[in-house]
Amino acid sequence: MKPLFVFIASLIILAALAVVYPNMLLNPGPLTKGHHALEKDCLACHTPFRGVKSVQCISCHKQQEIGINTVAGAVLPKNGSKVLFHKGLADNSCIECHTDHKKAFSTKTIKPFRHASLEPSLRNRCINCHKEQKPADALHKVAEGNCAECHSTTKWKPATFDHKKLTASGGKECFTCHKSDRPTDKLHQSVSTSCAECHSTTKWKPATFDHKKLTASGGKECFTCHKATLPNDTMHRQSSKNCGTCHSTSRWKPATFDHNRYFRLDRDHRASCKSCHTDPGNYKKYTCYNCHEHSESGIASKHRREGIYNYQNCMKCHRNGDSEGHGERGSDD
């Protein structure tokens, strides 16, 4: 029984001393400079067996006055670089950041700042507190939304990025950030629109392409991209026109050109386009005198004898090699 009696007596003595001299037995370290007057009055902040509660802090430190007035009510000098965010904090969050012990200044915390303690309206406006840290690069100038939508409150990088956060104009200026990634092939040199009109922001391929996005000159140079698909038949070899004159950009066939609408290429008329179309740049013009054994004056005399004076457009009456000009006319007369 004697050891037990000694143990109980020791506990009673220690408890009494803790109540009488708490600063000597329980103090974990020197108080902050502003609380030196409370060095021997632990119960001013501590509740026995419950520790420190934020409600005891705000009994002296009014949140609305932190950074503006001292506890005694004296007005503090204004500091434009200091953000008065304490009034936006929950009234039970003081001890989440501050401690009275182990530090020489109360403004130096031993715990990281918890953004979750901010009220939602302030939590979503990072620039209110971090105005001086706002990046000035080209990307952030065209980004909309709150910083927290890309960055975390623990560290700036890595960050998540959604191109939807860009402004309407910034979303079309891909080269602001991706200048070094710009393709240098002939196709992309002929494109005059934003990358996003063909490519997505998640991956470069597959891409959708609309030939209408090509520049005026680039849209006529089909073989810049389609050189391997150039037809090698007689007609295409003799044609100097752009593919788009007859073909569409959605598919190669059907094509809009049908020579039979004007003149059926039968018998000797299949020889060479140049026989009739002496100007390869303009297939609307043609002549029949390069093959037929008659002169222009002879043709004029013969047609006038028959009362025909508008005879310059041969195909208007002669729609094929067998036509004699007696009623065989096409729909394009």
For residue 259, what pLDDT is reported? 82
Phi, psi of 277 (to 5 degrees): -100, 90
* Residue at 230 is within a domain: yes
Q: Are residues 26 and 129 in the same domain?
A: yes
* Choice between 149 and 23, residue whose per-residue pLDDT is larger: 149
* Residue at 10 is within a domain: no
Residue 302: domain span: 258-333
Q: First-to-last CA distance in the chain?
A: 132
Q: What is the pLDDT of residues 183-236, one digit of tens each?
A: 888 778 777 677 877 888 878 888 888 887 777 766 667 877 787 777 877 677
Q: Are residues 316 and 263 in the same domain?
A: yes
Instruction: Find how far residue 15's CA is from the centre of its chain.
Output: 66
Distance CA 147, CA 125 (A): 8
* Residue at 8 is within a domain: no
* Residue at 53 is within a domain: yes
The average pLDDT across 122-127 equals 77
CB contact at 8 A, 52 and 46: yes
Q: What is the pLDDT of residues 229-274, one digit of tens each?
A: 778 776 777 666 678 778 887 778 877 777 887 888 887 787 777 7
At residue 158, does pLDDT exceed 80?
yes
Q: Are residues 273 and 327 in the same domain?
A: yes
Q: Indicate the residue among 133, 149, 170 that finishes a domain.
A: 133
* Residue at 163 is within a domain: no
For residue 219, what pLDDT is reported? 66
For residue 309, what pLDDT is reported? 84
For residue 251, what pLDDT is reported? 79
Q: Are residues 247 and 274 in the same domain?
A: no
Q: How many domains does the chain have?
A: 3
Lowest-confidence segment of 11-15, 207-211, 262-266, 301-305 by average pLDDT: 11-15
For residue 46, what pLDDT is reported? 82
At residue 3, does pLDDT exceed 60?
yes
* Residue at 321 is within a domain: yes
Q: Indicate the residue among 241, 257, 273 that finishes a domain.
A: 257
The average pLDDT across 67-79 equals 87
Q: Indicate the residue among 105, 133, 161 that finishes a domain.
A: 133
In percent, how much of the chain has pLDDT > 70? 82
Q: Are residues 220 and 308 in the same domain?
A: no
Q: Whole-number mean pLDDT of the chain?
A: 76
* Residue at 65 is within a domain: yes
For residue 17, what pLDDT is reported? 61
Confidence of residue 82 (pLDDT cuts 50, 70, 90): confident
Q: Are residues 274 and 243 in the same domain?
A: no
- Pair type for strands 46-47 and 51-52: antiparallel
Q: Residue 283 CB: number of other CB atoms within 10 A?
A: 18
For residue 108, what pLDDT is reported? 57
* Residue at 286 is within a domain: yes
Extract the tokens encoding 328. Answer: 């065989």
Q: Are residues 67 and 128 in the same domain?
A: yes
What stretches of 121-273 adopt beta strand conformation (E)? none
Selection from 51, 50, 94, 86 nearest residue 68 by Cα: 86
Q: Are residues 253 and 263 in the same domain?
A: no
Q: Are residues 58 and 110 in the same domain?
A: yes
What is the pTM for the complete model shown? 0.43
At residue 152, does pLDDT exceed 80?
yes
For residue 331, what pLDDT is reported? 35
Extract the tokens encoding 307. Answer: 């009362």
Q: Are residues 45 and 111 in the same domain?
A: yes
CA geometry: angle at 218 spanning 215 and 221, to 5°? 155
Q: Are residues 249 and 290 in the same domain?
A: no
For residue 103, what pLDDT is reported? 56
The average pLDDT across 283-295 equals 78
